[in-house]
Amino acid sequence: MEWGTLVATLGGGLIALAGTVMADRLRTRQEHRRGLQARRRDVYREFIAAAGAAHTELRCLAQNGPPASALFRASRAAYGRAAESPADREDAAGPFGPVYCMAGDEYQR
């Protein structure tokens, strides 16, 4: 029996196995990175939507909100509503649904 053929076959098998393991490892890393990027993007979107909702409500408060004695409580409530998910907000018309406050309108919450 020739040992050279057996050693070459085993060496080729080890090289193929190492290549497969490396390719699988790289693919797993890339999928993990993609998942992290998607989650990060979702968090950014939620933050931007909440910041926009809070900004809109605070503008409404500033323009024609409650009297000064209730302003602190109303502004804290506006931040609390903005922290809710867009689906839970009663005034959300989608994730970036604005609430318009016209001059002279009464602030109602």
Residue 90 domain-assigned? no
Q: Is the pLDDT assigned to residue 95 strictly greater than 50?
A: no
For 37-93, the pLDDT digits (tens) are 999 999 999 889 888 888 888 888 878 777 777 777 887 787 777 777 555 554 444
> Can you give the length of the chain in residues?
109
Q: Is the pTM of this model over 0.85?
A: no
> Does residue 99 belong to any structural domain of this protein?
no
Residue 107 lies in a domain: no
Assigned domain for 96 exists: no
- Overall average pLDDT of the 14-43 stretch: 95
- In-domain check, residue 93: no
Domain count, the chain: 1
DSSP 59-97: HHHHHH-S-HHHHHHHHHHHHHHHHS-TTT-TT-SSTT-
Q: Is pLDDT above 70 for 103?
A: no
Residue 103, token pair as written in the block: 């001059």
Residue 35 inside a domain? The answer is: yes
What is the per-residue pLDDT across 2-18, written as a single tens digit (0 to 9) for each? 889 999 999 999 999 99
Please check the confidence at residue 97 and state whether its pLDDT lies above 90: no
In which domain, by residue range, is 14 found? 3-83
